[in-house]
Amino acid sequence: MNLKNKRLYNNPVGVSRFTGLLLITPFIIGFVIFTLYPFISSFINGLAAADGSFSLENYTRLFQDSSVRKAAGVTIRYAAVLVPLKLIVSLLTALLLNLEIKGIGIFRTAFYIPSILGANLSVVIMWQYLFTADGLVNQFLELIGLSPVSWYGEAGTALSIIILLRLWEFGSTMVIFLAALRDIPKDYYDAASIDGCGRIRSFFKITLPLLKNVIFVNLILQTISALQEFNAPYMITGGNPMKETYTIGMLIYEEMFTYWNYGYANAVSWVMFTAIALIVLFMYAVTRKLREDSQ
Amino acid sequence: MKIKYLKTAACCCAFMLSACGSDNGANTRTRTEPDGSLDKCTIRFSWWGGDDRHEATLEAIELWNELHPDITVKAEYGGWDGWTEKINAQISGNTAPDLMQINYDWLINLSPDGEGFYDLNKLHDTLDLSGYDAETLSFGEVNGHLNAVTVSMSGRGLFYNSEVYEEVGASYPRTWEELLALGNTFGSKGLYPLDLDIQSGGTAWYLSVVYIQQTTGRQFITMDGRLGFTADDIKMALDFYKSLEENHVIRNVQTRTDEDGNAALYQSSEFINGNVAGVLEWGSAIGKYESVLDSGVLESGPFLSDGSGNSKGWLIKPSLLYAISSDTEYPDETAAFMDFLLNNAECAEILGTSRGIPASQYAFDHLNQSGMLTGLSYESTVMLDELDTVTISPYMELPRMKEFYNTAIEKVSYSAADTSEAAQEMYDSITAYLETFK
Amino acid sequence: MKKLPLYIILILISAVMLYPLLWLVGASFKTNSEIFSSVWFMPDSFSFEAYRNGWQTVTPFTMGHYFLNTFKIIVPKMIFAVLSSVTVAYGFARFDFPLKKFFFALLIGSMLMPQIVTILPAYSMWQNFAGFNFLDTYIPLTVPALFACEGMFVFILVQFFKGVPKEFDEAAKIDGCGTVKTLIFVLAPCIRPAIISISVFTFLWTMNDFLTPLIFIQSVEKYPLSLALRLSVDSTGQGYEQNKIIAMSVIGLIPSITVFALAQKKFVNGITAGGLSG
């Protein structure tokens, strides 16, 4: 063993500092083969120009490409609206489903079903019935005296249909919240109610602080998946109108498989990967203090 | 312990290098030359399609396997969704099936120099192409190599909801002027005589191209991939499109998107309920529209002309082609099977029109004799045959090009640009893009 | 009766959540034109023709065959995912080692890589993996799970391990358990609910996965259900019986819904036991 080792490893007596390393070996091997290799290979492929030569052309081009810039804007707007809304909706639903009443299991399953459906054909058709010109939503708006909205066709509103779809599929986020809620000991609330706290106050005083970590987990997971979104706009709006629902994920997919533009697709996705990593890091840094305060 | 760990890491690196190495292995591939004999082997045949095509093709393969027990054909098939992704992976990995059903524009990306697929000219011993005229064969030629053979030709035709037309008291338009005039008749009742889209179909630009080709006699994109239209022609085409919208002949893009979402017209209640009473569609794909209306309601209409006997400019293209993989180990055997699919009488009867009206004269004659050529798709093909048609350039069909057309149409429709701006932008993008293939 | 308004709210939301499923079932009995022109789920008439034809498929195999294929992928994948994720999470949660923070960051990083980018390099890798061609086998679909490739699972499990008091390990050690035995006999039972959760996630995601099998599997007889379901969908051709495709997808949803319904109690409790909160 290296006697000059400066760092002390906080392991139980008799456990080598390599035991942990040995345990995570599957991950390291898997990382090298299934993440690092494709990652590097994607960067190298991103260097390949249309004529087969290697240059940074794809990487420089994408920063000037107006369609990449537009898609990036759409994606960020999409994530910025969807993620907070989804966290709020799934947390509220989780509170509801956390109640100990008869048959709650059936409701939990029912609430999860949209997530199982994903972008199934029925969902696509259903969204059409809801948001087309004389769809149910517009009929409802007219009923309460509002003027109908051009959901699919208007540049400003089309993205909201996609957001609503993903909002409706809050299942997995909700499940994680639900689990965390069920972990909070009941006596915390009992004590609070003796102190005269109402339901709403005890939510802010007890529930929310205890959920800090899990909110963070969901925030990260949802941000990542929102920034990579491609399936929902692909199925529901096709990126229309005027590319207002055309996300970066969709752009990469189309460059790769529709336009046979493999090099460029890789270049864009490599930059996207880096951007998402930076965003996640930023979120991690910003929320750090907040998360550690309660511990 | 540390050494052990380093060893693992070294192994990982070695592994990665070997994995990287596989990419380079692709360059050293060898081409199998035909040997003139049919040996015992298994060949792979891949296609995409719907139920009717799957059923018919599987039955045809069964017949082949009976007739040629030595050459087993293994079928690989699926729906259209994701098929290009699959082919993409297979081509890039040199694991393509021996025989493939391909799309017309794939030749450009998959075989820019004619080396991407097997040269069928080398296989004349087993592959009989005497049922094809030189022009039809030329559609599969790249750089002097015969890369693919046309299975069927198809063109877009106009199809109308006869009930609605009767109700409105209108007859199917024969000229462009009559079409424009229909907008009034239908518009007063809140209906539309026709629909054009900018989604996967892209019929909006297609019809505008036909109109300008007929008027100017110029071809939009030439077969060798040059832009035949001037910026002015493109502007005229966009003006024509805009006039269709303004005359209530078609829904504008926003209305259409609002009413149908991202769905195709045959999935739209506007079409099913008759509010939109016409569609421009490939003869080989009209069945979907027929099936959502009562039987016999959808009828094919005349191809529009300028009224003085000029009916030029309508487009046709090979709707599907067969190609043999350049990596095949069994070129003779695969060619023999391809010959069977294209020319064999019994096979033709089994396949019917599941891949459109056959382009091979032998298969066509046989279907004709057995009375299997009926229906809208055939009617439309017969009418097209009588016209002086223009063959679509594969370059015109490239997905990226369609993107340019749709962007221009969308801008014009949303009035985000006037027609001359949109035309200039489209002209520039097309010129620049086509340049990349030179 | 105090709970009545609560039930009304729950039922109303459930209706919104379930309606597409209900419509889907109804649509499997409808004609093409009925499907696209009515938002009401009730069909005009009932006939099980679509289900019969759908189950038969146009291929030489029935849907039962494709179900079986799917399970041939799901079962090993679930076992692999559980074994590897638990081992790796155990390492991260209970031990200190060189570069631990670095590796944990890599773990998070592996979640950021979009699948569309990795799939083509993976294709060429499996095509010539140590001299063997693994295309058209289930290996590329299942074996990656052996290497804890789903970062999220490890991430969640680490939180759970942290929720189990360290005294458990110490007690096990006094009883003579080594590192491995402690994991198997002491810690794994404590986080059993979490293990169920990741199994269920693996199940649901694999059921729905289309792109991976599409790229790696060539032979129709090896297609999993997700590929078989789209066999008939051809927007470029003459048309298709929409109700049959819908009937097939209804059948295809049954396993996922059943598994979630059965597991939901454990599943939900599963994530509970851990230290996600607080």
**Cβ separation C264–A112 shorter than 8 A:** yes
Closest Cα of chain A to B362: distance in Å?
35
Under a CB-based contact definition with an 8 Å cutoff, are residues B151 and B340 in contact? no
What residue ranges of chain A have pLDDT lower than 70?
A: 1-7, 50-52, 119-121, 183, 293-295
Distances (CA, A) of B321 to B333, B349, C237: 18, 19, 14
Homologous superfamily of B156-313+398-435 in CATH? Periplasmic binding protein-like II (3.40.190.10)
Note whether A125 contacts B: Cβ–Cβ < 8 A: yes
Interface test with B, best of C236, C240, C246 (most B CBs within 10 A): C236
pTM (2 decimals)? 0.89
The burial of A1, by beta-carbon neighbours within 10 Å (0-12 exposed, 13-18 middle, 19 or more buried), is given as: exposed
Where is B158: in which H helix or E strand? Answer: strand B156-161
Closest Cα of chain A to B175: distance in Å?
31
Q: 71-90 in C: which are within 8 Å (CB) of A?
A: 84, 87-88, 90
Q: What residues of C are in contact with residue B81 (Cβ under 8 Å)?
A: 230, 233, 235
Look up residue C82 and give its two tokens. 């559980």
More confident residue, C216 or C117: C216
By residue count, chain B amounts to 438
- Report whether pLDDT(C270) > 80: no
Report pLDDT for A5.
52
What chain A holds in terms of domains, given with CATH numbers, is 56-293 (1.10.3720.10)
pLDDT confidence tier of residue B28, bands split at 50, 70 and 90: very low
Sequence-ordered list of residues with C-beta below 8 angstroms from that of B437, at least 6 positions apart, any chain? B108, B112, B225, B395
**Residues C29, B392: Cα–Cα separation, whole Å:** 41
What confidence tens digit (pLDDT) does each residue in B185-223 have?
999 999 999 999 998 789 999 999 999 999 999 999 999
Look up residue A180 and give its two tokens. 């965390």
Per-domain boundaries in chain C: 1-47, 57-276
Residues B131-140: contacts with CB under 8 Å, at least 24 apart: B131/B342, B131/B343, B131/B360, B131/B361, B131/B362, B131/B363, B131/B364, B132/B359, B132/B360, B132/B361, B135/B391, B136/B318, B136/B359, B139/B104, B139/B317, B139/B318, B139/B321, B139/B391, B139/B394, B140/B107, B140/B318, B140/B321, B140/B323
Domains B7-25+38-154+317-385 and B156-313+398-435 share a fold: yes
User: Beta strands of B244-329 (E only): which ranges?
Assistant: 278-282, 298-300, 315-324
**Cβ separation B200–C128 shorter than 8 A:** no
Under a CB-based contact definition with an 8 Å cutoff, are residues C157 and C194 in contact? yes
Report pLDDT for A51.
65
Average pLDDT for C91-115:
88
Average pLDDT for B30-39:
83
**Residues A146, C233: Cα–Cα separation, whole Å:** 39
- Report whether pLDDT(B411) > 60: yes
Under a CB-based contact definition with an 8 Å cutoff, are residues B227 and B221 in contact? yes
What confidence tens digit (pLDDT) does each residue in B279-321 have?
999 988 898 899 889 999 999 999 999 989 899 999 999 999 9
Q: What rounded mean pLDDT belongs to chain B?
A: 90
**Cβ separation C268–A108 shorter than 8 A:** yes
**Cβ separation B51–C241 shorter than 8 A:** yes
B321 bridge partner residues: B102, B150
pLDDT confidence tier of residue C119, bands split at 50, 70 and 90: confident
Predicted-complex ipTM score: 0.86
**Cβ separation B416–A238 shorter than 8 A:** no
Q: Which of A29, A125, A153 sits opposite B257 (nearest CB)?
A: A153
Per-domain boundaries in chain B: 7-25+38-154+317-385, 156-313+398-435
What confidence tens digit (pLDDT) does each residue in A129-188 have?
889 888 889 988 999 999 999 999 998 899 999 999 999 999 888 888 887 787 677 778
Under a CB-based contact definition with an 8 Å cutoff, are residues B93 and C124 in contact? yes
**Residues C268, C272: Cα–Cα separation, whole Å:** 6
pLDDT confidence tier of residue B19, bands split at 50, 70 and 90: very low
Q: What is the fold of B7-25+38-154+317-385? A: D-Maltodextrin-Binding Protein; domain 2 (3.40.190)
Q: What is the fold of C57-276? A: MetI-like fold (1.10.3720)
Q: Which residue of B has its CA nearest to A239?
A: B262
Q: What residues of A are in contact with residue B416 (Cβ under 8 Å)?
A: 242
